[in-house]
Amino acid sequence: MLNLSKFYGGARPQGGGFETFSWYYFRISGIILFVLVIVHLLVMHVTTDVACTTYAFVAGRYANPLWRLFDWMLLTIALTHGMNGLRVMIDDYVRKPRTRIVLLSTAATLLLAFFMLGTITLITFQPVAGAQQTQTCVNQAR
Amino acid sequence: MYKGQSGMWSWLFHRITGIAILIFLFIHIVDISLLSFGPAIYNDGIAFFDSIIARLLSLGLIVAILYHAFNGVRIICIDFWRKGARYQKVMFTIVLVATVIIFIPFAYFVLKPAFIPTVAWFFTLPTMAHTAP
């Protein structure tokens, strides 16, 4: 239910249910992601060349648990933002009820699976002793 | 074909870039999970990112991310700013310009490590012809 006349900025989904939450969640998570993704791109491509983001580089970052937290926030918020978008697309294009159930279940399963895989990687990572910089790497961190 | 104007195209590209980024995210979560298998396997996976094709694909991803982010901010302005809907077309132009402008330094940093060896290789070509002692 869109109430077009009363609102200062524009129309808002009014129902108060999951769709209203989803509408706000896209925008709030989008703002947070704007910051997280820009920092992530700068660290991975600008301050260090991507070929130099080796095991040793990651071990150095993950020695600080705040970087693990940063990456986990990026994982969670990006996954939920994206899968919510996928859910909206499935709702837009798929009419048959059974196909909808199959695709929406697949999307939910993918969300769970990738979230678990990413979380386990971030939590359990312990650098192997003796991990050296084995590749020729021209652009080290400046 | 619906003859929508810039509003339709902005929505369509927002959707397309969103799906592209999501698919990349799936691949990325898997390749980072290689960390759990130790430095040899993880570094082998990362070595792919040094190739020129990976760098070009990264540039495509960066364009998608920049457009999706800037257009997302435009959508937020349309929804929460009193005059947002009035300026949606102007904002779309700003989104496109900002995408191109911010993309250029990223392209420089992503291509530079591959560019210099390639350019240097070109300069070695004339000397390769003169191999007589």
Q: What is the pLDDT of residues A50-104, one digit of tens each?
A: 888 889 999 999 999 999 999 999 999 999 999 999 999 999 999 999 999 999 9
Please name the residue of chain B whose CA is at the shortest distance from the CA of residue A121: B33
Chain A positions touching B21 (Cβ under 8 A) are: 82
Question: For tokens 């769970």, what's the residue?
Answer: A112
Assess A78–B contact: CB distance below 8 Å, yes or no.
Answer: yes
Architecture of domain B6-128: Up-down Bundle (1.20)
Domain spans of chain B?
6-128
ipTM of the prediction: 0.87
Cα separation, B25 vs A86, in Å, equals: 13
> Over the stretch A14-59, which tens digit does the pLDDT of each residue have?
888 999 999 999 999 999 999 999 999 999 988 888 888 889 999 9
Q: Which residue has the tokens 């048959």?
A: A96
Q: Which CATH class is domain A18-124?
A: mainly alpha
Rounded to whole angstroms, the Cα distance separating A79 from B27 reads: 12
Chains A–B, number of C-beta pairs less than 8 Å apart: 114
Confirm whether pTM is higher than 0.90.
no
Q: Angle at which helices B6-33 and A97-124 pack, to 10 degrees?
A: 50
Residues of chain B with C-beta less than 8 angstroms from the C-beta of A58: 35, 42
Collect all residues of chain A within an 8 Å Cβ-Cβ radius of residue B80: 9-10, 27
B80 and A41 in contact by Cβ < 8 A?
no
| Residue A127 DSSP one-character state | P
